[in-house]
């Protein structure tokens, strides 16, 4: 299937924090495919690239890290040739190097970092790359599924719970449950989640990217909101998700950022 049109929107809220440390970017552009036999560009392909970053809470420069990471990723990706997974990896690497250079220039920024989730959508479907614990969901056939891995300690603790080594209470209330095992900090990135095969998209599908501030809502609650608003605009979808978090009014609510991409019209390639 080939997508013909889509809609997208991004929304942020500061929550109960003193500053906004989330950042995001969305860009639609046309890329020319090169004929492998003669190296000539002979086909225009429309692509959407989006990235979302969450500054590491409690670290100096978290807001700066997320901003420069998104900026570097969005600048780099459209300019790189090759497969989508190669371009995603190189864009992540460029973002990480940008953070490293910023710290070298200003040592007071040492310790800053952020998560990153980046997606590319083209005629083959959706590709993604992620580092950290920001969220990526796909709403397909009236079902919401989480696509990317969680690089916090939470899944490790859950595994220990499932093996009977710790209790459910210990797993859920562990003081380091939200500590990241991987992040964009300028140092070597230890864990990267990259899908190398596109997931096809059809009419009515939605992609939801979010910082972990959205995790104040349960999976079931997020699923119900997306389903209820699946026929509305992308902006309405984003507003409803953030509005539900604000309505819950959790103490010390983290920043919330949501990027939604809806696929409206599809047709089979000729």
User: With bands split at pLDDT 50, 70 and 90, how would you rate the model's confidence at 59?
Assistant: low
Cα–Cα nearest to 131, from 83, 86, 95: 95
Domain range enclosing 9: 2-149+183-267
For the chain, the helix, strand and coil percentages under 3-state DSSP, each to the nearest 5 = 30, 35, 35
In a domain, 48, yes or no: yes
> DSSP class of residue 72?
H
Cα–Cα nearest to 29, from 92, 122, 119: 122
pLDDT value at residue 34:
60
First vs last Cα of the chain: how many Å apart?
10
User: Of the given ranges (1-15, 17-31, 131-145), which has the lowest mean pLDDT?
Assistant: 1-15
Please give the tally of structural domains in the chain.
Answer: 1
Q: State which H helix or E strand residue 88 sits in.
A: helix 84-105
Q: How far apart are CA 209 and CA 142, in angstroms?
A: 17
**143-146 and 135-140 beta bridge pairing:** antiparallel
Taking 50 as the threshold, does the pLDDT of residue 270 lie above it? no
In a domain, 63, yes or no: yes
Taking 90 as the threshold, does the pLDDT of residue 123 lie above it? no
Taking 50 as the threshold, does the pLDDT of residue 269 lie above it? no
In a domain, 58, yes or no: yes
Q: How far apart are CA 200 and CA 216, in angstroms?
A: 29
In a domain, 254, yes or no: yes
pLDDT value at residue 57:
61
CATH number assigned to the domain comprising residue 17: 3.60.40.10
Q: State which H helix or E strand residue 210 sits in.
A: strand 206-210
The reported pTM is 0.91
In a domain, 162, yes or no: no
In a domain, 164, yes or no: no
In a domain, 160, yes or no: no
Residue 88: alpha-carbon gap to chain centroid: 12
Taking 60 as the threshold, does the pLDDT of residue 266 lie above it? no
User: Of the given ranges (30-44, 92-106, 167-181, 239-253), which has the lowest mean pLDDT?
Assistant: 30-44
In a domain, 137, yes or no: yes
Give whole-number Cα distances, 12 to 9, 25, 48, 106, 209, in Å. 10, 12, 20, 28, 12
User: With bands split at pLDDT 50, 70 and 90, how would you rate the model's confidence at 33?
Assistant: low
């Amino acid at each position: 299937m080939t997508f013909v049109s889509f809609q997208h929107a991004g929304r942020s809220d500061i929550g109960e924090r003193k500053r906004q440390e989330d950042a995001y970017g969305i860009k639609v552009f046309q890329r020319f495919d090169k004929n492998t036999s003669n190296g000539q560009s002979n086909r225009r392909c429309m692509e959407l690239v989006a990235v979302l970053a969450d500054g590491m809470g409690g670290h100096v420069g978290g807001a700066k890290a997320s901003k420069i990471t998104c900026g570097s990723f969005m600048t780099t990706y459209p300019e790189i040739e090759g497969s989508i997974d190669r371009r995603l990896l190189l864009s992540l690497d460029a973002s990480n190097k940008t953070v490293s250079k910023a710290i070298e220039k200003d040592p007071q920024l040492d310790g800053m970092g952020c998560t990153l989730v980046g997606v590319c959508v083209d005629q083959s479907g959706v590709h993604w790359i992620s580092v950290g614990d920001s969220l990526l969901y796909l709403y397909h056939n009236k079902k919401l599924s989480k696509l990317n891995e969680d690089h916090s300690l939470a899944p490790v603790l859950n595994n220990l719970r499932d093996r009977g080594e710790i209790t459910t209470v210990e797993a859920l209330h562990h003081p380091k449950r939200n500590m990241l095992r991987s992040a964009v900090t300028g140092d070597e990135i230890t864990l990267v989640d990259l899908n190398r095969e596109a997931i096809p998209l059809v009419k009515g599908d939605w992609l939801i990217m979010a910082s972990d501030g959205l995790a104040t809502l349960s999976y079931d609650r997020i699923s119900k909101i997306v389903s209820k608003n699946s026929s509305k605009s992308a902006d309405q979808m984003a507003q409803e998700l953030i509005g539900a978090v604000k309505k819950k009014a959790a103490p010390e609510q983290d920043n919330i950022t949501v990027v939604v991409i809806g696929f409206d019209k599809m047709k089979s390639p000729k």
